[in-house]
Structure 1
Amino acid sequence: MRNFDYRFSGVFTSAMCISFCLFSLLTLKAEATDRTVPFKFLEEVTDNGPIGDPPLLLRVVNTTNRTFNTSEINNGFNSKLLFAAPDIEAWHNLPMASWSGGTTVQQSNSKYAEGDALPFQYTHGTGNPEPRLYAGETHCIILRYDSYADPQSDGHFIDYLESYNATESGVTPFDDFAVCSATDVCDFTVAIPLDPSLPTGLQDPGFFYLYNIVPGSIVFGEDAGDVLGAGETAAWPYVIEAASGGKTTKRLRICFEVAGTGGEEQDVGIAWGGHLAEETFWGEGKGAGNFPGASPQFRINFDDATSDENININPNAILPLPRIDFITKDAQPDDPQDFNFTSTFGDFTLDDDGDINNTWSNTTTFLGLDDNEPYQVDEVSTSGWDLTSITCTATTIQGGNSLTISTVPGGALPNVIYSSTGVTITADLDQQVGCTFVNEESTCIPPTIDTQPLPQTVCEGDDATFTVEASSNMSGGTIEYQWQVDINDGNGFADITNGGNYSGFTTATLTISNTPLSFNGNQYQVIVTETSVTPNCSTTSSSVVLTVNTCQLSIDKAFTSNADNDGSGDVSEGDVLTYTITATNTGTGNLTNVVVSDSKITPSSTTCATLAANATCVLVGTYTVTAADVTAGQVDNTATADSDQTDTVTDTETVPVKSQELSIDKAFTSNADNDGSGDV
């Protein structure tokens, strides 16, 4: 069973209404089939008087929303409600998807995007009125569609034919026809011929979907004997007709043999799609959604008849592919400054120079975005300029409503997310979004001295360094340094501009190499300048003093005592010697970490953390004379003194050691004279 929802609009007398209404309450059956068609009435019945007075209007509606005219009702209601007249229908995808042959495709019933295939079908059902189609017969239809404007540069509408289901899902062609019988040929396709007048690569391959047409019987193009009309151009198998009413129409003739056996009457159909031209190919504003003038049409002529069946397509049902309508740069005041951006589309540059030069545009547009995909646009920080605001405007395509918001960050548009540097825009078929980035010249803010330079004390000939730490207070700011010196000549501070002992005088660290004594008492400071804006601004550090000292250290080592352990009165083995080692600061400044040492004595060293000018650092220690010292005949040892500021100085002390000697003296000292002889 096929559920119809036919929309009949006709003028009837009251008597006609009575008979028709009674008839329509019955279950109507197709004349040559068992297909039952239930009908229903709408509540639109207008009766302006009794029989013989102005007619009433009766409308019966079916699920395809097809509106039938009076002649169709008068001719078709003799015995049934299945009409044989050729018809063209378009697919309305809103609010309940259905085929319609009598209603303009418009925003109230359809929503298509540029690049979509708008489905069409040619149907030729069985039944009255003529012509009827019988198996074995050959017939032709001509598809005629408004392709582009006149002139062509004003825009394109349907630029080529493709499959009916290339982009739309759920489309069921020929749903008014019965389920195919054994003799039907219902699922046969034939390739749509390419249009040689189109740019290479534009047309996608597609198919005509055929119903009850003999496979292999399709012939495209005009007959060989046909003569082109005035102003027509051949693009075989297509013909480009002469422009009329601001439009240029293309046509394609399709001849076929009706399928079936025994000359039976057949339902016949062809389905295809019309590709809606895209501005991403033809140029901004040149796509189907912006087609100028009156609504374009798609028409069919049956068997070369001069009259046609047609459908209007209002461009307001067609949306350009999602786009970011504009990213605009507004510099205040106008300036030739270039502003760089990073984005999902790649890097680009804009400026707003008030026509000072033509290096860059102040606006760019991004076309052909993917629906519901996020796209990011961020401005790169530009020295001397502040991004002060971002204003985005969203325009609803169907209905023309718009909403404008402006904050950084913030915003009320559901498909726009703000950051401090840019926006993320989610593409939406229903909206075109444009954003203006406003920059103002930065007001110079002086740099901050984070760490001041410190006074330095060095020895003559040593290196001295002064260091400052500073930071910019400008977005993307840059700072420069200039060190100055006051040599106490009454002229104050002056820039350090020459080399000599100086290096790094335009950096954060000033170095004085091989510092001369003449630099003692010099004062130093640094000027830190913000250079990212004009005019510049600067901050001066505190001034600090350089002290240059003569750094000298002397040493004196003395043998001060001998314990003379053996009482020999001289230095001998085992004696304990005492030494006094004195290091003296003979310079003008303090010395630090003064170390006095002698490896032979105990203790062997002493350290004085700070040694003022003329002060001494003393080491007292002892040494025990060894046999080796006796053999050597002396005790030699060297004392050293060192500091952070000076080189090592030494002093050596030599103490003689007396060698040990053994002598013998034998003497006859007495005689006991035991015999008293007086001699030995």
Structure 2
Amino acid sequence: MSLRARSGALAGTIVATVLLSLATPWSVRAGTTVNLDQWASLDRAWQNGNLNGNNSRYPEGGVIPFRLAMEGLAVGDHSIHINYDWTAGGHKAHDFLATWNLTNASGKICTPSGGAISSMCPSLPAYSSFAFPPDPYVADGLSVTGAQVYSGAIRRLTIWGGTILSISKPVHSGSASGNSAGDVLVRFRASGSAVLLAWGGHIAQSSYWNRAAGGPADGAGEVSGAPWHMRTLQLDGAGNKNQDRSIQPSAIVGSVPPGGLAPPTPTPPPPLGPGTGAPIPRPRPHATAPATASGLPDGDRSSIVAAIGVVLTLVLAFSLALPIPRMLSRRRRR
């Protein structure tokens, strides 16, 4: 091959390489890593594999924590899909996404287990969060929005190392009578090369699905055989950074009561006085001494005993004083 031909071939290779690199999203080139963990409740550790009855126990209505560590990102805007099995074998599985630490793993986002350990750990920067939008999807006469209200769970996506820009409304695909999925698109802005996301997968409750509509139990506890999944897909449109974790039906035990994940209701402050801005003092209840075996408070009982003592003393004194005049009269007669 002549020198000119070799030079032409080399130039063609360089051009092809450049075009291929341009076709690949700039933020997920070599060096970018994505890792998804879920919390094993019995092991009390992050699990880079799957959950089952040996390492976890979760009730229907509980929330499985997930953390996603992304490394090697370029500073700037990115996007990623969170995809979850909405039904598995015709039964509801993860019916919506929620805040990551509602029932487990609180304060343990940097626990050194699993694989999604952020390079920012253990000294994470300040976090921020963004609300998951309501999901109006309806199946079997019941809506996901109704399940969210029934649960009372807080539903926010948390981020360290960046800012969440938007979260799309869930898009559902597949048949709810078989295997189906929900999918949200998250857009975020990375402030450095590392970003950590955390969220929870709510476990569908049979007390809502479908008993709230008079139907049979159809929550996650009814899933049998194959597990259901939580996934992250298409970081900046690339499919080579996808992650997938699953939970076996053997890990589901019991159920959370309706509203069991609702935040506590704060005690209302005292009302303000008219025109003063100062709280109106609340009347203090009258202190009552505890009742004794006689049924009377100790204070009342003591008063009665004292009164009886005075009466007895007077009676005794009077009875002793009666013979004195008679004795004096007898002496005078003598």
The more displaced of 243-252 and 138-147 is 243-252
* 1:90 equivalent among 38, 45, 60: 38
* 2:201 equivalent among 256, 261, 274: 274
Alignment of 1:463-612 (within 5 A): none
Q: Does 1:141 align with 2:80?
A: yes
Q: Does 1:156 align with 2:92?
A: yes
C-alpha distance in 1 between matches for 2:189 and 2:107: 25
* 1:321 equivalent among 233, 242, 255: 255
Letter in 2 for 1:89: D
Alignment of 1:5-20 (within 5 A): none
- CA 1:110–1:209: 2 relative to 1, 3 Å: same
Following TM superposition, by how much is the alpha carbon of 1:149 offset from its aligned partner in structure 2, in angstroms? Answer: 3.8
Verify the 8 A CA contact 1:246 1:293 in the aligned structure 2. Answer: no
Verify the 8 A CA contact 2:134 2:145 in the aligned structure 1. Answer: no
- CA 1:100–1:179: 2 relative to 1, 3 Å: closer
Q: Does 1:247 align with 2:179?
A: yes
Q: Does 1:219 align with 2:166?
A: yes
Letter in 1 for 2:248: N
Verify the 8 A CA contact 1:117 1:162 in the aligned structure 2. Answer: yes
Following TM superposition, by how much is the alpha carbon of 1:185 offset from its aligned partner in structure 2, in angstroms? Answer: 4.6
Q: Which residue of 2 aligns with 1:110?
A: 56
Q: Does 1:306 align with 2:213?
A: no
- CA 1:290–1:108: 2 relative to 1, 3 Å: same
- CA 1:171–1:277: 2 relative to 1, 3 Å: farther
Report the 3-state secondary structure (helix = DSSP H, G, I; strand = E; otherwise coil) of the residue aligned with 1:280: coil
Letter in 2 for 1:143: I
- CA 1:124–1:174: 2 relative to 1, 3 Å: farther
Following TM superposition, by how much is the alpha carbon of 1:243 offset from its aligned partner in structure 2, in angstroms? Answer: 4.0
- CA 1:200–1:84: 2 relative to 1, 3 Å: closer
Report the 3-state secondary structure (helix = DSSP H, G, I; strand = E; otherwise coil) of the residue aligned with 2:250: helix
Q: Does 1:191 align with 2:131?
A: yes
- CA 1:244–1:276: 2 relative to 1, 3 Å: closer
Q: Which has the higher helix share?
A: 2
* TM-score normalized by the length of structure 2: 0.56
Following TM superposition, by how much is the alpha carbon of 1:292 offset from its aligned partner in structure 2, in angstroms? Answer: 3.5
Task: Quote the sequence identity (%).
Answer: 25
Following TM superposition, by how much is the alpha carbon of 1:90 offset from its aligned partner in structure 2, in angstroms? Answer: 0.3
C-alpha distance in 2 between matches for 1:305 and 1:244: 28
Letter in 1 for 2:228: P
Alignment of 1:452-463 (within 5 A): none
Which of structures 1 and 2 has the bigger CA Rg? 1
Q: Which residue of 1 aligns with 2:330?
A: none
Q: Which residue of 2 aligns with 1:421?
A: none
* 2:222 equivalent among 279, 290, 294: 290
Alignment of 1:373-384 (within 5 A): none
Q: Which residue of 2 aligns with 1:165?
A: 101
Letter in 1 for 2:92: H
Q: CA RMSD in A?
A: 2.8
Verify the 8 A CA contact 2:88 2:180 in the aligned structure 1. Answer: yes
Report the 3-state secondary structure (helix = DSSP H, G, I; strand = E; otherwise coil) of the residue aligned with 2:201: strand
Deviations 1:495-544 (A, max 9, x none): xxxxxxxxxxxxxxxxxxxxxxxxxxxxxxxxxxxxxxxxxxxxxxxxxx
Deviations 1:449-503 (A, max 9, x none): xxxxxxxxxxxxxxxxxxxxxxxxxxxxxxxxxxxxxxxxxxxxxxxxxxxxxxx
Verify the 8 A CA contact 1:279 1:320 in the aligned structure 2. Answer: no
The runs of 5 or more residues in structure 1 that have no matched partner are: 1-82, 126-131, 222-236, 261-265, 323-366, 371-680
Verify the 8 A CA contact 1:210 1:270 in the aligned structure 2. Answer: yes
Letter in 1 for 2:74: Y
Deviations 1:417-474 (A, max 9, x none): xxxxxxxxxxxxxxxxxxxxxxxxxxxxxxxxxxxxxxxxxxxxxxxxxxxxxxxxxx
C-alpha distance in 1 between matches for 2:121 and 2:67: 17
Verify the 8 A CA contact 1:174 1:269 in the aligned structure 2. Answer: no
- CA 1:244–1:114: 2 relative to 1, 3 Å: closer
Following TM superposition, by how much is the alpha carbon of 1:254 offset from its aligned partner in structure 2, in angstroms? Answer: 0.3
How many residues align structurally?
A: 208
Report the 3-state secondary structure (helix = DSSP H, G, I; strand = E; otherwise coil) of the residue aligned with 1:281: coil
* 2:189 equivalent among 252, 257, 263: 257
Verify the 8 A CA contact 1:113 1:319 in the aligned structure 2. Answer: yes
Q: Which residue of 2 aligns with 1:206?
A: 155
Following TM superposition, by how much is the alpha carbon of 1:305 offset from its aligned partner in structure 2, in angstroms? Answer: 2.7
C-alpha distance in 1 between matches for 2:199 and 2:162: 15
C-alpha distance in 1 between matches for 2:122 and 2:186: 23
Following TM superposition, by how much is the alpha carbon of 1:199 offset from its aligned partner in structure 2, in angstroms? Answer: 4.2
C-alpha distance in 2 between matches for 1:311 and 1:251: 15
Q: Does 1:99 align with 2:46?
A: yes
Report the 3-state secondary structure (helix = DSSP H, G, I; strand = E; otherwise coil) of the residue aligned with 1:311: strand
Deviations 1:372-397 (A, max 9, x none): xxxxxxxxxxxxxxxxxxxxxxxxxx
* TM-score normalized by the length of structure 1: 0.29
Verify the 8 A CA contact 2:81 2:184 in the aligned structure 1. Answer: yes
Following TM superposition, by how much is the alpha carbon of 1:179 offset from its aligned partner in structure 2, in angstroms? Answer: 4.7
Verify the 8 A CA contact 1:155 1:285 in the aligned structure 2. Answer: no
C-alpha distance in 1 between matches for 2:134 and 2:57: 27
C-alpha distance in 2 between matches for 1:309 and 1:218: 22
Deviations 1:313-344 (A, max 9, x none): 1111011328xxxxxxxxxxxxxxxxxxxxxx
- CA 1:242–1:253: 2 relative to 1, 3 Å: same
- CA 1:293–1:244: 2 relative to 1, 3 Å: farther
Verify the 8 A CA contact 2:65 2:198 in the aligned structure 1. Answer: yes
